[in-house]
Structure 1
Amino acid sequence: MKELKVTEFIDKLASNDPTPGGGAAAGVTAGLGIGAILMAMIFSQSDKLSKEDQTFLAKKIEEFEKSKEIFVNIIDRDATEFEPLSKAYGMPRATDVEKQVRNEAIQSGLVIASQPPVDLISEVSQIVEGFDKVIPLIKKIIVSDVGVGLQMLRSAVQASSLNLYINGGQLKDKEKQEEYYELANNKVAELSSQLDEYYTQVKDILIK
């Protein structure tokens, strides 16, 4: 999926093919978000910054490059890790034994399919830590792209929460279900609030 042209990806998303789905779209959105932020950070590297700030910015760029790769991989993982669940839904269920085997496969598939959104939320959680120290180092001429990136990351975590709701709602493992709901309810709300705060900081720079 990640090798498709943008127009091809959108066309496949807007078709009756089972993949790509919303999870892959969230991966693309997160990838574009961190990409926009990285562009602004790289553009803002300068000898005019203090040595400490130069080192900090370079370290963050290195970290966010890894985040970008994680998001790009989620685009494909959403399809590959949905496959066991898709196959499980298609398993025979004519007998009690077949029904049991199918149900067990579905339960296993739900957990596998939920890992990409869990990982996306976890990675965004890492990105927001200390991000308030990044914003002042960005040149005003390009700081709007940081705001764009923050909004895309926010959309990606909100989208990922929906995958956890739909998968978690079918789980019989109540502990795992609560884990997903905790992420979808509380962690996503926390991240959204933090991203909104950073977005406001960017907007304040632009309107000064």
Structure 2
Amino acid sequence: MQDQTIGGYLERLAAREPAPGGGAAAALHAAQGAALVAMVARYTTGEKYAAHAEQVAAITAGADELRSRALALVQEDARAFTAVTEAYKLPRADDEQKAARSRAIADALAGAARPPAEVIAVAARVVELAEQILPFGNPNVVTDVAAATEAARAAATTARVNVEINLGGIKDDAVRAELAAALTGVEALAARARAVTEAVRKEIAR
């Protein structure tokens, strides 16, 4: 999926197909946020920023890694959601088939919740890197720091609902608790993203 054109991806997203859907879109939000942080970092180099060179290098490497992981999650989410649709198609002619189908659905729902749960973790890291570079990043691209955190915020809040919709069908209490725990920091993450955006807006209003 990551090798598609943007137009091709959007055409698939708009189609009457189970995947890609909102989960893939959330992962792509995260990838774009990471890419924007990396871009800002690459503009924050040279003699003027020599005092921050080591930190900038770490931010660049971290953002590149997050972008790659988020792109992989686009594909993983699509595969996981397809598995859910296939589980619902299993036969249910007798009690044995119904039980097997129920187990398959529960397992598939747990699998479908994992990629968006990881997207939230990626998004949190994107916001963290944006917070790190904001104080000294190249002012010519400061709005891209805000764009990065807004993309990460969208990733996390979108991924949250994609986890939540699967929780009810997961039978394993430990798995359900694990996935629910991934949601607890989303509001704080969103608030941090908004704070970065507000800081950028104040900076450009001067």
Normalised TM-score (structure 2): 0.93
Q: Is the 8 A contact 2:37 2:126 kept in 1?
A: no
Q: Is the 8 A contact 1:44 1:138 kept in 2?
A: yes
Q: Is the 8 A contact 2:28 2:70 kept in 1?
A: yes
TM superposition shift of 1:57: 0.7
Matched with 1:81 is: 80
TM superposition shift of 1:182: 3.4
Matched with 2:195 is: 197
Q: Is the 8 A contact 2:19 2:78 kept in 1?
A: yes
Aligned residue type for 1:26: A
CA RMSD of aligned residues (A): 1.5
Deviation by residue 1:71-123 (Cα, 9 ceiling, x = unmatched) = 11111111122232221111000100000001111111111111111111112
Taking the aligned partners of 1:46 and 1:109, their CA distance within structure 2 comes to: 49
Aligned residue type for 1:192: A
Distance 1:32 1:129, change over 3 A: closer
Matched with 1:34 is: 34
TM superposition shift of 1:172: 2.2
Q: How many residues are treated as equivalent by the alignment? A: 206
SS at match of 2:108: helix
Unaligned 5+ segments in structure 1 are none
SS at match of 1:48: helix
Q: Is the 8 A contact 1:168 1:176 kept in 2?
A: no
Taking the aligned partners of 2:187 and 2:182, their CA distance within structure 1 comes to: 9
Unaligned 5+ segments in structure 2 are none
Residue identity (%): 25
Question: In the alignment, is residue 136 of structure 1 matched against residue 146 of structure 2?
Answer: no
Matched with 2:4 is: 4
Deviates more, 1:165-174 or 1:57-66: 165-174
Normalised TM-score (structure 1): 0.92
Matched with 1:45 is: 45
Question: In the alignment, is residue 17 of structure 1 matched against residue 12 of structure 2?
Answer: no
Aligned residue type for 2:31: G
